[in-house]
Amino acid sequence: MRRNEFLSTAMKGSLGCCGLVVLDNAAQTAAHAAEPSDADREKEFVKNWMSDLFNSIDAELDEETKVRVMAGCGRGCFRRFQFKQDIARLSKGSVESMVQAYTKNFEVWQEGTLVHVRYGSENKQ
């Protein structure tokens, strides 16, 4: 075999091997990307657990107990977040001051006597 034939054959074989390695790495990366992350699995677990909790509360508790449980959760949420306490403090006095206080963290608009508060960036409907 002549030198140029040997080099040509060797290069073709090397390129083929490199191509397989690249394709294998791409396939492994795609397979890994399709797997849910730990955070995704935890989020799904919590979502399912909360759904089961609320279904159980609704099925097993009397109305008065449901109200007490939800009110306790609401108070805890209020105490946990300073921005909610700020909204309550700034909202005192009028509906207009309440709307103004909410606009710092939420999308807010008023329709007649109704005040709409939306978290996120969706368009008003």
pLDDT tens for the 125 residues of the chain, in order: 565 555 555 555 555 554 555 556 666 666 666 788 999 999 999 999 999 999 999 999 999 999 999 999 999 999 999 999 999 999 988 999 999 999 988 999 999 999 999 987 655 44
| pLDDT confidence of residue 29 | 64
This model's pTM is above 0.75: no
Contact in structure between 125 and 107 (CB atoms under 8 Å): no
d(CA 66, CA 55): 11
| pLDDT confidence of residue 8 | 55
Query: 10 Å Cβ neighbour count for 109?
Result: 13
| pLDDT confidence of residue 125 | 46
| pLDDT confidence of residue 124 | 47
Q: Which residues contact 39 (CB under 8 A, 6 or more apart)?
A: none
Contact in structure between 101 and 85 (CB atoms under 8 Å): no
Cα→Cα distances 44→13, 51, 65, 118, Å: 47, 11, 28, 24
| pLDDT confidence of residue 27 | 63
| pLDDT confidence of residue 35 | 85
Task: Give the phi and the psi of residue 58 in degrees, each rounded to 5.
Answer: -65, -40
